[in-house]
A and B are shown apart, each in its own frame.
Chain A
């Protein structure tokens, strides 16, 4: 794939043996910035989890549940996961294309724009200025505009880099990441235009928006990163290119149709909900194609996975992609929604997917690829501690909230007084606060590891985890 040319003489469009210093700086900056947002978002999340058990804790307008809840979700989504995955997407685009990152100035501008959005978004929400409690689009339009600008700029960087590639084929990872930037640009504009969003019409748009923000942005980015990092770290080719292509197109066609399953039994037209349920079942095709492809790529590689720092994160991410998405299909069935809808089961599901899947893939990508870029490896024991605290933390989290949601749904179905559902969920909320503490602890360890991989002064000689395969 690569041609022999010395690193010092790399032309900007020429083949690259190793990432140039400017590209490493961009990768570092995106990772560090996203890590800071992860700490902020999950510290807020932990405070919120304690408020379920101690409702009079931190009674203050700026620390109240209703304001912080949106800050927790938006900063997790747009400050942490989006920025971390964009930085990885840049690295993947450049390395898989055998060139430097193109349009570096736009990459830096995107990082600023992401951060301006997250800062302004956090401040406005904390002041009670919001676009309505519509999940993942609580930011007012002029805050969301900065995020959209960052997405567009990042998309230009990735497309320009892939266009400058050596060779004709576009590596499958870049299909997914390029798709993410395109779809999210269209999605952001669709969601921002107010003229067709009144009353129930806004509910219909929100149904589309909330699921697409997750599915067409984070899922596509995380799958793209996995299609590069997994074969790279295992030092073997992806099992099936064709399954990857199948997954791309089926994700694209099925995902945008399933949003209304968030509003089952609502006044949205019944047929509109039914279509969403049918396509939710259809989602099994891309989910099983993607996760199956990754598992077949990993087959027999257990020894490598166990020795690796990064691969266990990818392994968990793929496992929870499969479990979380399959659970999503089951949840969409009306018989189950009747019990689980509007309960904590949904919160468990969103953490299974956004944390167990998306965040673990981001961590796997960072631990796998960042040391290759910087030449600085993290401490293996600390990476292991991060892994186990985060893995056990999210697993306990999802289990206790799934039980809590089931208990809530059953007390409602029994016709018990409403407060019975609150009291029945209390022990599980305590369990959530405990598992949340484990997760936040993991994030502080991760932050230290990021520092070790980026800014820490250490000899620049450590070998990257694996070398070779593209």
Chain B
């Protein structure tokens, strides 16, 4: 009985592989290729060098697990900005839309919280600024020293959160990250979006 013609196993392997390959092409490869070519929206610009380095820090630290970068066309999302549109993401690779909003959406954080000082204190110890926040603190992005050197940027951390007798100084990594956060601003849409609620 066995091995007359093609083994049934190979029939199963090839037929299911062909079907799945077809589905992968129409559901992933073609949509991916088409949407990769969506041109940037008006006012959407590439990041500069410091912002790009900051984005890499953002990716490496996994910030996107708690912070989305997508504003939905829903009433409860109006607080984060206007609804996101395809052209907003032209320079956003790897994509950072996120799947959970344990913390606030950051699509427009550069406009909503434009203070560099606020961002730095918040990264050093979020609870110094937001009571009840559960965001991790990132003290390793700062240097604690007794006396700042010329050129150091000292972060005005409230005394209860700072090590006694030392000042907190920004690192280049932290400055890049803040530069990236402040770059996150939604350019206004040229005409009213059909998705606007």
Residue pair B137, A59 in contact (C-beta under 8 Å): yes
Nearest CB of chain A from residue B90's CB, rounded to whole Å: 5
Residue pair A202, B36 in contact (C-beta under 8 Å): yes
Interface of B toward A, CB cutoff 8 Å: 1-2, 7-10, 12-13, 16-17, 19-21, 23-24, 27-29, 31-38, 57, 59-66, 68, 70, 72-76, 79, 84-86, 88-104, 126-127, 130-140
A11 near B: Cβ within 8 Å?
no
- Residues from chain A with a CB closer than 8 A to the CB of B76 are 412-413, 415
* 4 extra A-B contacts, CB within 8 A, seeds A129-B60, A199-B95, A422-B102: A186-B17, A201-B34, A202-B95, A342-B98
Q: Interface size class for chain A?
A: 35 or more
Q: How far is the CA of A60 from the CA of B73 in the complex (A)?
A: 37
Residue pair A179, B16 in contact (C-beta under 8 Å): yes
Pairs of residues from A and B, 5 with the lowest C-beta to C-beta distance, nearest first: A132-B94, A66-B62, A201-B36, A128-B60, A133-B64
Q: How far is the CA of A190 from the CA of B23 in the complex (A)?
A: 11
Q: How far is the CA of A201 from the CA of B36 in the complex (A)?
A: 4
Residue pair A422, B62 in contact (C-beta under 8 Å): no
The residue on B at minimum CB distance from A175 is: B12
Partner of A168, one of B8, B20, B35, B97: B8
Give 1 or 0 for each of A401-418: 1 = CB within 8 Å of chain B CB: 000000010001101001
A55 near B: Cβ within 8 Å?
yes
Residue pair A61, B140 in contact (C-beta under 8 Å): yes
- Residues from chain A with a CB closer than 8 A to the CB of B37 are 201
Interface of A toward B, CB cutoff 8 Å: 51-53, 55-56, 59-61, 64-67, 69-70, 128-135, 159, 162-163, 167-170, 174-175, 178-179, 182-183, 186-187, 190-191, 196-206, 208-209, 216, 252-253, 256-257, 259, 262-263, 265-268, 272, 338, 341-344, 346-347, 408, 412-413, 415, 418-419, 422-423
- Residues from chain B with a CB closer than 8 A to the CB of A347 are 100
- Residues from chain A with a CB closer than 8 A to the CB of B19 are 252-253
The residue on B at minimum CB distance from A417 is: B79
Q: How far is the CA of A300 from the CA of B181 in the complex (A)?
A: 61
Chain A interface, >50% SS class: helix
Known: A186-B17, A256-B20, A267-B70. Is A196-B32 also a contact (CB below 8 A)? yes
Q: How far is the CA of A408 from the CA of B73 in the complex (A)?
A: 18
Residue pair B136, A65 in contact (C-beta under 8 Å): yes
> Which residue, of A132, A162, A167, has the highest number of chain B Cβ atoms within 10 A?
A132
- Residues from chain A with a CB closer than 8 A to the CB of B13 are 159, 178, 182
- Residues from chain B with a CB closer than 8 A to the CB of A128 are 57, 60-61
Residue pair B70, A197 in contact (C-beta under 8 Å): no
The residue on B at minimum CB distance from A161 is: B9
- Residues from chain B with a CB closer than 8 A to the CB of A418 are 79, 103-104
Residue pair B20, A200 in contact (C-beta under 8 Å): no
The residue on B at minimum CB distance from A199 is: B89
- Residues from chain A with a CB closer than 8 A to the CB of B74 are 265, 338
- Residues from chain B with a CB closer than 8 A to the CB of A133 are 59, 62-65, 94, 96, 98
A-B contacts, 24 of them at CB < 8 A, read A55-B135, A55-B137, A64-B62, A67-B61, A128-B57, A131-B94, A133-B59, A159-B9, A159-B13, A169-B8, A170-B9, A178-B16, A187-B24, A197-B93, A198-B90, A199-B92, A199-B95, A200-B89, A201-B35, A206-B95, A208-B28, A256-B20, A338-B74, A347-B100
